[in-house]
Structure 1
Amino acid sequence: MTDSSQEVERKFLVAEMPPLDGAVSEHIRQGYFTVPEDSVQVRLRQKGARFFLTVKGQGTLSRSEHETEIPAEVFERLWPATGARRLEKIRWTGRLPGGEVFELDLFEDRDLRLVEVEFADETGALEFVPPDWFGREVTEDGRFSNSSLASGGVPDASPPPER
């Protein structure tokens, strides 16, 4: 994704590891300038040999996302400003039997596996039936957002308390 768009995605814990035949992996490190309570998220991301600056709006299932590729030198100059709000993961990207693309994140500094699926629109997202290897959905659980994970470690995997 480059420049401006709307991101529509659902996120799940992983109940069991799927076969990763045909999937590709990439190392990702990312850091946040903002904290989870801010009205927007601003992050730096290194994905393999490419570098990005991303601004995400509020929301869970659907939100604005503006991502721009930046030179490595700019990334390295800005990286210290992310302080302790960082995470590293291996992302496996592959296709589900229905053709949807999944992104399976295995975090390097914590025992956590998350899988995300992006959709063209909210209708497609709401109609999606996850495969058996997907666990509990955490799309609406802010404890599992990358910005929260970068700031606070591993959340308790039990459902959040009722409000």
Structure 2
Amino acid sequence: MSLEIERKFLVATMPDLSQTRKAFVRQGYLTHPDDSTELRLRQKNDQYFMTLKGGGDIARVEREAEISGTQFEIFWPETEGRRVEKERYTGLLPDGRTFELDVFLGSLSSLCLVEIEFNSEEAARAYSPPDWFGADVTEDKRYKNKTLAINGIPN
């Protein structure tokens, strides 16, 4: 079983992104908004994926398979009304951890989130983020991408 262990934060101050890798991401959700399990389509630059994510906050089951652009386009229309677009910046923190900073586009354009993945829940819970990270929204379901795709930016 593949397990994703991560924490998610708002961005208080934009860091220097000059040493990061940038990708354009669009993703849409095939599952019903009330389902605890997510089935997601994602395009990341010129790669395409289908991902299943289980319920949970810090730790969730995650299974992902690369699919063709043709397969992506077959299912993409079914995600209408449940989509996000963003620019993802992947970089390294001074402690050697990798961060993924998402700058959302379209109706979510005022939102920026940063995520860090961990090897254990203990490490995730013990983590002290750098100053440019804002509020911890890991357990706030309003900031899950699926919820943002359906409901927009939380009030």
Secondary structure of 1:147's counterpart equals: helix
Paired amino acid for 1:91: R
Q: State the match for 1:160 in structure 2.
A: none
Q: Compute the TM-score of the two structures, normalised by the length of structure 1.
A: 0.91
Which 5+ residue runs of structure 2 have no aligned equivalent? none
Count of residue correspondences: 153
Q: State the match for 1:132 in structure 2.
A: 131
Q: State the match for 2:52 in structure 1.
A: 55
Paired amino acid for 1:129: S
Q: CA deviation at 1:35?
A: 3.5
Is the Cα contact below 8 Å between 1:10 and 1:137 reproduced in 2?
Answer: yes
> Is residue 2:86 matched to residue 1:97?
no
Distance 2:2 2:22 in 1: 25
Q: State the match for 2:117 in structure 1.
A: 118
Q: CA deviation at 1:37?
A: 2.3
Distance 1:21 1:59 in 2: 33
Q: State the match for 2:105 in structure 1.
A: 108
Q: CA deviation at 1:91?
A: 0.3
Paired amino acid for 1:64: V
Which 5+ residue runs of structure 1 have no aligned equivalent? 157-163
Q: State the match for 2:152 in structure 1.
A: 153
The CA deviation string for residues 61-84 of structure 1, in whole angstroms up to 9 with x for no partner, is 001000000011000010001111
Shift of the 138–6 alpha-carbon distance from structure 1 to 2, 3 Å rule, reads same
User: Which portions of structure 1, spanning 4 or more consecutive aligned residues, are displaced by more than 4 angstroms?
Assistant: none
Distance 2:126 2:139 in 1: 16
Name the % identity.
52
Secondary structure of 2:2's counterpart equals: strand
Q: State the match for 1:72 in structure 2.
A: 69
